[in-house]
Amino acid sequence: MTIALDIGSHHVRSLRHQAGRLIARSQRAAYAVLPDSDSHRRLLADANLGFAVCDDGLLLLGDASWNHADLFHVASRQLLPHGQLLPNDPIARQLLATLIDSVLPKSEQSGELCMMSSAGLASNSENIDFFNRVVRLRGYEPLLVPSGAALVLSELVQSTFTGIALVFGASACEAVLAHRGLVVCQSQLSRGGDWIDEQLADCFNLACWDPSGERFLDTVSVCHARESDDPTHRAALAIDPEFPAAAQAALSGLMTDLLTTFSDELMNCRRALDLPQPLTLLCGGGLAQSERFIEYLHHVLAQSRLPVSTRPARVARGWPHNIVRGLLIAGELEAATASELPQQRRAA
């Protein structure tokens, strides 16, 4: 069995084939700590919510944290802020391992592949080593695949898996040029939607507090406001009238930085410049689901002047499972190639 695992700062997702069916699992990469009291324990038991007991209180993990933390007036916190492991935080590592175990069943036989992707992993070898160890403990052999390459395999079959994929995620952004499914050129920006929301929350002084009085930037409300075109919703959150323009500027700036870096990589890659053009241009990730995203991107593309010509950009279908689907395709191709090698040796 080959399995796909997409590790994001907001979600951990897996996808596998089993008995002719596709089986997907997903959990929020978040946790929350509640004060340990009899009333909280009764409420959790009545709601049939599993929890663990820790030194600081009662621990909610994954979807339970994201969906129910606000009912107890506590903050749901990310296990992978900006896609990175928190330094010197063994508890966060243990919780992440538990979360991955919940979406990654034990392998059925040794040597099974786990195709793994995360935009935040590529720039940090410590993160890669940690997740490789967790995956191997489940009995798999991990193989890291760029998110953009997975998006190409998932969406560009009609273009013979050739084109440019731009992934605008929560923790990072990635640009990949692939030819027949193989990466020719790529670049990464270690900022994404989380960074935008933090900038906007700080700019408009939007904050929340936990029961102990600790202050947090209210990035959750900012994210909801940024993704909504409903003025009534923004008014209910007391969002400044200048918020939409600031959100557009932040997103456009992120696009500009990624495309500038990618343009430099393309200019230094002769193979990329020699590919048949125009190239398909595909966009994925959570930010790409925003209203008017394509409008902003076309404006930035007109100014960026990529050294290759592209077709009009489009947003990939199948969000949020298209990247993990592409990872599974990559795994099946890898397994098929591996099985052909012994046959080729015998024929030779």
Please tell me whether residues 206 and 269 are part of one structural domain.
yes
Domain of 185: which CATH number? Answer: 3.30.420.40
pTM, entire model: 0.87
Please tell me whether residues 113 and 232 are part of one structural domain.
no
Please tell me whether residues 118 and 36 are part of one structural domain.
no
DSSP state letter for 210: -
pLDDT tens sequence across 293-344: 999 999 999 998 899 999 999 999 888 899 999 999 999 888 877 665 455 4
Please tell me whether residues 91 and 137 are part of one structural domain.
yes
Please tell me whether residues 134 and 238 are part of one structural domain.
no
DSSP state letter for 279: B
Range of the structural domain that residue 70 is part of = 30-78
Q: Which one-letter amino acid corresponds to residue 44?
A: L
- Separation between Cα atoms, residue 52 and residue 22, nearest integer Å: 31
Q: Which CA distances in Å does 243 have to 40, 235, 247?
A: 37, 11, 6
Please tell me whether residues 241 and 254 are part of one structural domain.
yes
Give me the long-range contacts of 177-181 (CB less than 8 A, separation at least 24).
177/266, 177/269, 177/272, 177/275, 177/279, 177/308, 178/148, 178/149, 178/152, 179/271, 179/275, 181/149, 181/152, 181/153, 181/333
Angle at 144 between CA 154 and CA 65, to 5 degrees: 80
Please tell me whether residues 282 and 202 are part of one structural domain.
yes
Please tell me whether residues 12 and 116 are part of one structural domain.
yes
Show the low-confidence residues of the chain (pLDDT under 70). 56, 119-123, 210-212, 227-239, 338-348
From the number of C-beta atoms within 10 Å of its C-beta (0-12, 13-18, 19+), residue 42 rates as exposed
Domain total for the chain?
Answer: 3
Does any domain span residue 155? Answer: no
Please tell me whether residues 309 and 179 are part of one structural domain.
yes
Question: The tokens of 85 are what?
Answer: 């492991």
pLDDT tens sequence across 322-334: 999 999 999 988 8
